[in-house]
Amino acid sequence: MNYLEEYQRKLVTPDEAVKVVKSGDWLEYGTFAGSVVVLDKALAARKDELHDIKIRNNCRPHGIPEVVRVDPAREHFTFNSWHFSGFERQLSDQGLCSYMPLIYHELPEYYRRYLELDVLFLQATSMDKHGYFNFGPSVSHVMAMCEKAKKIIVETNPNVPRCLGQEEAIHISKIDYIVEADYPMPQVPAVKPGEIDKKIASLIMEQIEDDCCLQFGIGGMPNAVGEMIALSDLKDLGIHTEMFVDSIVDMAQQGRVTGASKSIDKYKIVATFALGTNKTYEFIDNNPMCFFGPVNYVNDPAVIGKLDKFVSINNCIDVDLFGQVNSESSGIRHISGTGGAACFALGAFRSKGGKGFICMTSSFKKGGELFSRIRPTLEPGSIVTIHRGMVHNIVTEYGIANLKGKTVWERAEALISIAHPQFREELIKNAETMGIWRKSNKRQQISFTC
């Protein structure tokens, strides 16, 4: 079949493509680095013709969407996100973006079972000789969106890397319209680790050995671990992670990552999406070592549990003395999202020899005053991202607290022992006041070793 002829029949301008959108529609803008840019601008130009347009996106790294810029009163467009980028956080603070809660590995089934989707805007590579458009580094839940969408418009971009894997491409026969674009991939440089991040990373490094399979979250501390691994003599590490980041490239290029010891997906670096700089995008382009799969596979705790010696490394905002972890909000102010934190907390514990680490600095400064990240209770309105029973290890610069199998008072003791020294006595008093343990309990049980 001559796919070039079909391509020409479906090729339209952005202005022509967005004419399929009608008032009351649910739209998708793609996800992560695959969020659309040109179609967003074309749709914004139709503002006065449309009302009640509901848009879903996910961790948009391309800047403030044009539909929001032209409609700050949300009279025409309502913008929603599964996970906030810095741009979406800005919009949320102004009441211009709503968060959608999720358990990330379940997301494809949300579309297949429950969600309406009238028009899908999708960024992809240029068409290959077989008539396929590759989703690039944004596989995640895109195929589920394609299955549910009534209309699919592809925004091709020659700068999108072609990523190998599963559910990673769509055929031209499934597409309604094609729009050509050309803009650079979004650059999301690694957060530079501070001295405390490096201290926490050094504690994590003591827990990693040859043949481990690793998952990294985003932030300075996971990046510090990646840098240390790249410079270490560790051998035959595996990667099975939600997010592919720049530090994984460093580890692979230094020969630390081979995947040779993985029990499944042997020799493959597995991820569901990538966000980084051109270093990442160039590495993953047509690289047989990299496997990008749907999130209902990559983040499935049952799949993760099949990988021996799995080590999960993620950040959080704060933890209370009951062991509840908040990774996504500051009180009622939404910061990011649940992401895969709960998925990997469950999966790492199922792994033979697996370990899950939730990391944070013990304290933070605000207005020149020092505050503890280990709190008696979470701030009112804060989200419990990881249930206290799911938490394995909490890590600060003062040590590692294993919470599995511990009573409420043992948990409190373990957490206080890794709190900033300035707050430990106060936290003990809080625990006594809340009845977590009584004054008769031996305080010497708490080790304040730094």
Q: Decide: 168 and 270 in contact? Cβ < 8 Å.
A: no
Which residue is associated with the tokens 């949320």? 92
The pLDDT tens digits for 311-332 are 999 999 999 999 999 999 999 9
pLDDT above 60 for 156: yes
pLDDT tier at 220 (50, 70, 90 boundaries)?
confident
pLDDT band of 219, cuts 50, 70, 90:
confident
Label residue 179 by pLDDT band (50, 70, 90): very high
pLDDT at 259 over 70: yes
**pLDDT classification of 444: cutoffs 50, 70, 90:** very low
Residue 166 CB-density burial (10 A; 0-12 exposed, 13-18 middle, 19+ buried): middle
| Residues 135, 170 contacting (CB under 8 angstroms) | yes
Mean pLDDT of the chain, nearest integer: 95
Longest dimension (CA), the chain: 82
What's the gap between Cα 72 and its chain centre? 27
The Cα–Cα gap between 374 and 365 comes to 14
Give the model's pLDDT for residue 217: 83
| pLDDT for residue 190 | 82
Look up residue 180 and give its two tokens: 């050509």
pLDDT in tens, 29-76: 999 999 999 999 999 999 999 999 999 999 999 999 999 999 999 999
Give buried/exposed letters for 174-194 (b at 16+ CB in 10 A, else e).
ebbbbbebeeebbebebbebe
At a CB cut-off of 8 Å and minimum separation 6, what does 170 contact?
122, 124, 132, 133, 135, 143, 146, 152, 154
Mean pLDDT confidence for 140-156: 98
Q: Using the predicted structure, report yes or no on whether residue 399 has a pLDDT greater than 90.
A: yes
Q: Each residue of 261-319: pLDDT tens digit?
A: 999 999 999 999 999 999 999 999 999 999 999 999 999 999 999 999 999 999 999 99
For 79-102, what is each residue's pLDDT tens digit? 999 999 999 999 999 999 999 999
pLDDT band at 369 (very low <50, low <70, confident <90, very high): very high
pLDDT band at 441 (very low <50, low <70, confident <90, very high): low
Domains of the chain (ranges; CATH) run 3-180 (3.40.1080.10), 195-445 (3.40.1080.20)
pLDDT of residue 438: 58
* Residue 266: other Cβ atoms inside 10 A: 11
When pLDDT is cut at 50, 70 and 90, the band that residue 439 belongs to is low
Angle (CA) 281 226 317, round 5°: 100
**Which of 198-207, 370-379, 420-429, 435-444 has the least mean pLDDT?**
435-444
Percent with pLDDT over 90 in the chain: 93
Residue 440 above 60 pLDDT?
Answer: no
- Identity at 230, one-letter amino acid code: A
Computed on alpha carbons and rounded to an integer, the radius of gyration of the chain in Å comes to 23
- What sign has the CA pseudo-torsion 346, 350, 351, 352? positive
Q: How far apart are CA 33 and CA 58, in angstroms?
A: 9
Task: Return the active site residues.
Answer: 242
Task: Write a three-state SS string for the chain.
Answer: CCHHHHHHHHECCHHHHHHHCCCCCEEECCCHHHCCCHHHHHHHCCHHHCCCEEEEECCCCCCCCHHHHCCCCCCCEEEEECCCCHHHHHHHHCCCCEECCCCHHHHHHHHHHCCCCCEEEEEECCCCCCCEEECCCECCCHHHHHHHCCEEEEEECCCCCCCCECCCEEEHHHCCEEEECCCCCCCCCCCCCCHHHHHHHHHHHCCCCCCCEEEECCCHHHHHHHHHHHCCCCCCEEEECCEECHHHHHHHHCCCECCCCCCCCCCCEEECEECCCHHHHHHHCCCCCEEECCHHHHCCHHHHCCCCCEEEEEECCEEECCCCEECCEECCEECCCCCCHHHHHHHHHHCCCCEEEEECCCEEEECCEEEECEECCCCCCCCCCECCCCCCEEEECCEEEECCCCCHHHHHHHHHHCCCHHHHHHHHHHHHHCCCCCCCCCHHHCCCCC
* Residues above pLDDT 70, as percent of the chain: 97
- Asked if residue 136 has pLDDT above 90, the reply is yes
**What dihedral angle (degrees, nearest 10) is formed by the CA atoms of 74, 273, 148, 157?**
80
- 369 bridge partner residues: 366
Count of residues in the chain = 450
**Position 109: which residue type?**
E
Q: Is the pLDDT of residue 445 over 60?
A: no
Retrieve residue 349's tokens. 């514990």
pLDDT attached to residue 450: 45
The reported pTM is: 0.95
**Chain segment 330-362, per-residue pLDDT in tens:** 999 999 999 999 999 999 999 999 999 999 999
